A and B are shown apart, each in its own frame.
Chain A
Amino acid sequence: MANPLDQFIIKPIEAFKPIEIAGYDVSFTNSSLYMCLAVISIVLLFAFCLRKKELVPGKAQLFGEGLYAFIKNTVKENAGHKGEKYFPFIFSLFLFVAFGNILGLTPYSFTFTSHLAAVGGLALIGLAFNMIVGIKNRKFGYLRVFMPKGIPWPLAPLIVPIEMISLLSKPFSLTVRLIANMTVGHIMLKIIAGFIVVLGVGGIVPLTFSSLIVIFEIFISLLQAYIFTILSCIYLGDAINEH
């Protein structure tokens, strides 16, 4: 039985030459390959959905437009009217994470959303984006994030560090939740699938079980991508709207 953790190893793809910049290994790895695949499949999907542009949409077009409207409504509800301007960022974030999760479910593939580096990077980009947008919208008023209204000033030395940590902990908790869900699901699938061959005829039981888990995993991967998006919207709303 193969080690269930083997699927998370990042290895450079041998067809490409190893690249090294300033002492860092930046070769094209299976992780980067699946990120590229995710982007390509997103583009292909939307090109397919929108190949016929009709006033009354067909099935494929309805799917694409429905996805768009769904995320648009999420942004509107959670980040307010001001946040609608930043919809493209949120939409690309959602699609990238969702496709990373779903591509990772196909056999022999690699799930880049199960890695701290990939998802943490996305969350940090989100945090930096929130800060830039917040400062752009509220100028110095953005500093109110660290010192909410109605708090007496002698408490400032206590409140400011707490608020700072609270702000920094948000992307971290976002990341941990996504990678924990993805990692757990994949390890569970691999272990249960390992029993199928070992048990012989009795392997039907784990086979049924793992098929059910795959369905559940598809649901979880979409749900987690949605949670990642909805929380990014809420944090974006916190950054731009004054309370």
Chain B
Amino acid sequence: MKTLQKSSTRQIANKHPILAIYLRSCNINMRNEKRDIDELADRIKKLDKSNNTDEKKTNDGIIAGARIGTRLVVDFLSAILIGAAMGYFLDETLNTKPFLFIFLLLAGAGAGFLNIYRFLKSLEEKKEK
């Protein structure tokens, strides 16, 4: 296909009429290919010029802040909840009330801090880039 697309459509149509019909049936519009690409290049040039003149202002500080805040809270709380739930159900099945619950609740809090630490560290790395 690739080599065929390089040669012009008319050449293909002259040499292999059946192939030309097939290509047309594939909806691959080959006649306008070159003109289309030239047009596209013009449009890209125009857009480049208009983009350079006025710089875009980013105004998403509040939304980004809210996103980071909710992420911190939810990451922290979910780790504690998961730890507590794991401890509770393991206690129920293993009959070790209440030791696993206490241990896993504390481990959950630790995991929560770990989540927050990792998230903030990734944010810092992004900023440095």
A binds B: yes
Instruction: Give chain B interface residues in 99-120, CB to chain A under 8 Å.
Output: 103-104, 107-108, 110-112, 114-115
**What are 30 A-B residue pairs whose CB atoms fall within 8 Å in the complex?**
A51-B27, A52-B27, A53-B26, A54-B28, A54-B36, A55-B29, A55-B33, A56-B33, A56-B36, A56-B37, A56-B40, A161-B107, A162-B111, A165-B83, A165-B108, A166-B114, A168-B82, A169-B78, A169-B82, A169-B108, A170-B115, A173-B75, A173-B77, A173-B78, A173-B79, A173-B115, A176-B78, A177-B70, A177-B74, A180-B70
How would residues 19 to 31 of chain B score, 1 for a CB under 8 Å from any chain A CB and 0 otherwise? 0000000111100
Which of B's residues lie within 8 Å of A, judged by CB? 5, 26-29, 33, 36-37, 39-40, 63, 67, 70-71, 74-75, 77-79, 81-83, 86, 103-104, 107-108, 110-112, 114-115
User: Which residue from A54, A161, A169 sits with its C-beta under 8 Å from B29?
Assistant: A54
Shortest distance between the CB of B128 and any CB in chain A (Å) = 16
Shortest distance between the CB of A66 and any CB in chain B (Å) = 15
Residues in B neighbouring A48, C-beta threshold 8 A: none
User: Which residue from A56, A165, A227 sits with its C-beta under 8 Å from B111?
Assistant: A165
How would residues 154 to 177 of chain A score, 1 for a CB under 8 Å from any chain B CB and 0 otherwise? 000010011101101110110011
Shortest distance between the CB of A127 and any CB in chain B (Å) = 12
10 closest A-B pairs by beta carbon, nearest first, are A173-B78, A165-B111, A169-B79, A166-B111, A56-B36, A161-B107, A169-B78, A172-B78, A169-B82, A173-B74
Residues in B neighbouring A53, C-beta threshold 8 A: 26-28
Cβ-defined contact, A165 with B86, below 8 A = yes
Cβ-defined contact, B107 with A162, below 8 A = yes
Which of A53, A165, A166, A168 counts the most chain B CB atoms within 10 A? Answer: A165
Shortest distance between the CB of B27 and any CB in chain A (Å) = 5
Cβ-defined contact, A165 with B28, below 8 A = no
New contact pairs (15) apart from A53-B26, A177-B71, CB-CB < 8 Å: A53-B28, A54-B29, A55-B5, A55-B29, A55-B33, A55-B37, A56-B36, A56-B40, A161-B104, A162-B110, A165-B104, A169-B82, A169-B111, A169-B112, A172-B78
Instruction: Give chain A interface residues in 167-224, CB to chain B under 8 Å.
Output: 168-170, 172-173, 176-177, 180, 223
A166 to B33, CA, bound (A): 53
User: Which residue from A55, A56, A176 sits with its C-beta under 8 Å from B74?
Assistant: A176
Cβ-defined contact, B28 with A55, below 8 A = yes
Residue of A nearest to B122 (CB): A234
Cβ-defined contact, A166 with B115, below 8 A = yes
A169 to B112, CA, bound (A): 9
A166 to B117, CA, bound (A): 12
How would residues 19 to 62 of chain A score, 1 for a CB under 8 Å from any chain B CB and 0 otherwise? 00000000000000000000000000000000111111000000
